[in-house]
Structure 1
């Protein structure tokens, strides 16, 4: 009955005066890390762009991008982990890099656009923490390439 009434209202309303229907359901939280709460914890160091080191705790299963955002580390992730940019480019230590599965072709295509590409470069959104990461250092490149031209500095999501 309500659906029919709503359709009648919408069919009579002009586009600028169409009624709006709101829902009271809870929104899904973007970046909710509670699903990792029971996973083992490892300690990771981030070498920041100013060469300082920040040691953080990370749960296995989290992406490096998630770990960075959860710890206020300036790793952008402009495409929100959809592999459409290279702003979450990180440089890994050899032992950890060697244990990872190879990057897929889409990731390699995005890495081709990354600033400061190295042999151990990966996208932080595609690298997931394992117990092998214990004590490793993840290095941030000195810069990223983004398409902002107006001076806008995005914040992590």
Structure 2
């Protein structure tokens, strides 16, 4: 299991043991993280699972693919560290990953 921390907008921290191969979004939904709506179920067809990757993890997580970049156009308050959590796959090299949920979703 890989350690994942999701910080809700209100500061509440969700410390999750995430299965490798799952996505940040799947883990957020399973753990009822507020602000992660995931309306499309992880199909990269909405922007309701938008998160900010913690600065310490941006290089390790990598840049969004073109389709994800297009969907981020629909997100609210996009920042340089914005990603769609459905597109971040959990892997051993992401052990300790921290992401933050924005104040509101699209």
Write the mapping of 1:1-157 to structure 2, written as runs, cut at 5 A: 41-74=1-34, 75-145=36-106
- Which of 1 and 2 has greater Rg? 1
* Greater per-residue strand proportion: 2
C-alpha deviation, 1:141, in angstroms? 0.4
Match of 1:69, SS? Answer: helix
Return structure 1 stretches of 4+ with deviation > 6 angstroms. Answer: none
C-alpha deviation, 1:101, in angstroms? 4.3
Inter-partner Cα distance in structure 1 for 2:80 and 2:10: 22
Normalised by the length of structure 2, the TM-score is 0.88
Count of matched residue positions in the alignment of Structure 1 and Structure 2: 105
Unaligned runs of 5+ in 1: 1-40, 146-157
Inter-partner Cα distance in structure 1 for 2:79 and 2:72: 10
Inter-partner Cα distance in structure 1 for 2:10 and 2:63: 29
Inter-partner Cα distance in structure 2 for 1:52 and 1:120: 20
Q: CA RMSD in A?
A: 1.4
User: After superposition, what is the alpha-carbon deviation per residue over 1:107-156, rounded to whole angstroms, capped at 9, x for unaligned?
Assistant: 101112211211111101111011232223210001001xxxxxxxxxxx
Matched-pair contact (CA < 8 Å) for 1:45–1:138: yes
The structure whose RCO (Cα within 8 Å, separation 6+) is larger is: 2
Normalised by the length of structure 1, the TM-score is 0.62
Matched-pair contact (CA < 8 Å) for 1:66–1:125: yes
